[in-house]
């Protein structure tokens, strides 16, 4: 399983934006190259067929443009992973989660069934398409919706009609709302709106811990779900609540009803949520024997209020983190060799890309949305901002191929991480300075570009300024700076690691009198 997610409500973020961030991690032993591209309405297929499940779906004829960070190689379909549309709706898909055996028995996953035999043969069984999944969600939903809530509604209808072959957490956001959707079995789903003053830390587990079914089936103020969810729960005896009060459906715990709780979760999942909450609520006791929550706690809250407002830098750090300042840091000096490799870190070798979707209330709709992007293993790189309402993207981020090349942002970062990993202490200062440089330049570039577009818009009395060209120019500036800084970082890391090679020898080749 892979990926880590953090959601930040608009009242919990440093500037009033909604912020959605997810590490797109490849499965164990895999490394999927990434690219950043704009999809125009004329590029959006009208007759969609999934590569993995073979499901075919006819799509509406009115898509809008959107920018995504998909896989560079087409072997597993589009896998758009995260994106923002020209309507300033963001979507991240998916956070891999797990449901329990009772759910899988009640509503099995909709898996592809290959054809058996040949047409005309006795006993021939034709192929049965599977449901929709990570490959498909963004392509099927994002270009057609105007708000995050509308995105949840469209996604829910697709899940109910076609089903899914995997358990996933999907996020939809706009300037006001963040909605988190979890699939429950093959056709069922639940969704909750993140409170504005909260963040949510989500590893690869079913995360929602409080759900109001009455609201979801009624006014839908903060909750939404499959229309038959209550009957589904009752028919299959999924409700484990120790209460006969009918009002208890206002506070069902989806983890208890639908989720898993295993010793593997305590190694792979709960420690990541624990570390994110430890960082964002540092005044609590996290480390003593009396601590309320530990790395193996099954009852860590899905969302909570941070002690200070959360910045892009906080998000970048957390998505790059590896249990710094604890005995569990694989690059640290605390603890033992065993504790330093006890838990799965957030910043891991198979991070493919980090997409941070920032939708800003103070910016006009034409340039409201910014996607902060990094490729490769997050502890060795930095996110950089790119406007999303554009028609093209910089080649340095979009030209990723299967060929390893320093002309590609993805491959350069992969090389840096592979070199620096075994020389962490010797190279960490270079990487820290790189991150500071990229983030500082990025913030300044966005500020100056916003100001330039406001000025241009104010001075254009008769004709609306074409903001897309200005945004594309800013994206290219960011890309050019990123390419120079990343190349410089590679040179520094390569030089340092070369000096520390095991076959190095310092004695002069000749004797001097």
Residue-wise pLDDT for 95-107, tens only, equals 999 999 999 999 9
Residue 411: CA atoms inside 13 Å, Cβ hemisphere, count? 13
Phi, psi of 405 (to 5 degrees): -155, 140
Pairing of strands 82-85, 384-387: unpaired
Q: Which of 3, 64, 198, 225 is catalytic?
A: 3
Domains of the chain: which residue ranges? 2-401
Average pLDDT, the chain: 95
**pLDDT tens digits for 274-331?**
999 999 999 999 999 999 999 999 999 999 999 999 999 999 999 999 999 999 999 9
Catalytic-residue membership of 3: yes
What's the pLDDT score for residue 455?
Answer: 87
Contacts of 256 (CB under 8 A, 6+ apart): 240, 241
- DSSP, collapsed to helix, strand or coil, labels residue 91 as strand
- What DSSP string runs through 385-438? EEESS-S---HHHH---SS--TTSHHHHHHHHHHHHGGGHHHHHHHHHHHHHHH
Phi, psi of 211 (to 5 degrees): -145, 130
Q: Is the peptide bond before 359 cis (omega within 30 degrees of 0)?
A: no
Split at pLDDT 50, 70, 90, the class of 400 is very high
Q: Is pLDDT of 510 > 60?
A: no
Ranges of beta strands (E only) in 138-195 are: 168-173, 178-184, 188-193
> What contacts 24+ positions apart, CB below 8 Å, involve 217-221?
221/193
Question: In the numeric block, which tokens belong to residue 365?
Answer: 């709709």
The reported pTM is 0.96
What's the pLDDT score for residue 228?
Answer: 97
Cα 168 to Cα 155: distance, rounded to the nearest angstrom:
12
Rounded average pLDDT over 52-74: 97
In CATH, the architecture of 2-401 is 4-Layer Sandwich (3.60)
Phi, psi of 66 (to 5 degrees): -160, 160
Contacts of 135 (CB under 8 A, 6+ apart): 50, 51, 52, 53, 76, 77, 78, 79
Helices 424-459 and 409-420 cross at an angle (nearest 10°) of: 150
Q: Is pLDDT of 459 > 80?
A: no
Question: In the numeric block, which tokens belong to residue 419?
Answer: 């070199």
């Amino acid at each position: 399983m892979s990926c880590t997610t953090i959601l930040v409500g608009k009242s919990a973020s440093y500037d009033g934006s909604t912020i959605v961030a997810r590490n797109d991690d490849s499965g164990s032993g895999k490394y999927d190259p990434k690219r950043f591209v704009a999809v125009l309405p004329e590029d959006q297929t009208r007759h969609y067929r999934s590569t993995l499940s073979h499901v075919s779906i006819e799509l509406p004829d009115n898509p809008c443009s959107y920018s995504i960070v998909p896989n560079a190689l087409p072997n597993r379909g589009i896998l758009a992973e995260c994106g923002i549309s020209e309507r300033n709706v963001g979507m991240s898909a998916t956070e891999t989660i797990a449901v329990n055996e009772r759910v899988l028995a009640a509503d099995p996953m909709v898996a592809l069934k290959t054809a058996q035999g040949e047409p005309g043969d006795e006993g021939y069984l034709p192929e049965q398409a599977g449901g929709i999944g990570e490959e498909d969600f963004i392509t099927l939903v994002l270009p057609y919706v105007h708000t995050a809530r509308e995105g949840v509604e469209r996604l829910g209808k697709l899940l109910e009609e076609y089903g899914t072959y995997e358990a996933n957490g999907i996020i939809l956001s706009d300037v006001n709302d963040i909605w988190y959707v979890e699939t429950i079995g093959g056709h069922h789903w639940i969704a909750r709106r993140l409170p504005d003053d909260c963040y949510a830390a989500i590893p690869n587990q079913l995360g929602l811990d409080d759900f109001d079914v009455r609201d979801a089936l009624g006014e839908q103020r903060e909750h939404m779900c499959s229309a038959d969810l209550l009957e589904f729960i009752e028919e299959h005896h999924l409700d484990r609540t120790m209460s006969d009060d009918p009002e208890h459906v206002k506070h069902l715990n989806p983890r208890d009803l639908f989720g898993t709780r295993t010793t593997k979760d305590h190694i792979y999942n709960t420690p990541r949520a624990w570390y994110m909450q430890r960082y964002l609520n540092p005044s609590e006791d996290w480390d003593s024997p009396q601590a309320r929550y530990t790395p193996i706690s099954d009852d860590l809250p899905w969302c909570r209020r941070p002690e200070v407002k959360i910045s892009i830098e906080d998000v970048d750090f957390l998505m790059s983190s590896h249990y710094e300042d604890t005995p569990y840091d694989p690059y640290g000096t605390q603890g033992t060799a065993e504790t330093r490799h006890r838990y799965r870190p957030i910043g891991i070798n198979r991070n493919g890309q980090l997409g941070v979707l920032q939708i800003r209330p103070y910016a006009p709709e034409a340039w409201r949305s910014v996607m902060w992007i990094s490729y490769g293993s997050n502890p060795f790189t930095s996110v950089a901002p790119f406007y999303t309402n554009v028609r093209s993207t910089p080649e340095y981020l979009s030209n990723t191929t299967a060929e390893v090349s320093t002309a590609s942002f993805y491959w350069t970062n992969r090389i840096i991480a592979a070199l620096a990993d075994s020389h962490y202490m010797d190279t960490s200062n270079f990487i820290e300075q790189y991150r500071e440089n990229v983030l500082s330049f990025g913030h300044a570039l966005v500020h100056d570009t916003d100001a330039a577009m406001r000025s241009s818009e104010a001075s254009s009395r008769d004709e609306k300024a074409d903001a897309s060209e200005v945004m594309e120019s800013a994206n290219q500036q960011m890309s050019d700076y990123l390419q120079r800084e990343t190349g410089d970082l590679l040179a520094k890391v390569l030089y340092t690691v070369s000096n520390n090679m095991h076959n190095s020898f310092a004695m002069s080749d000749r004797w001097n009198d």
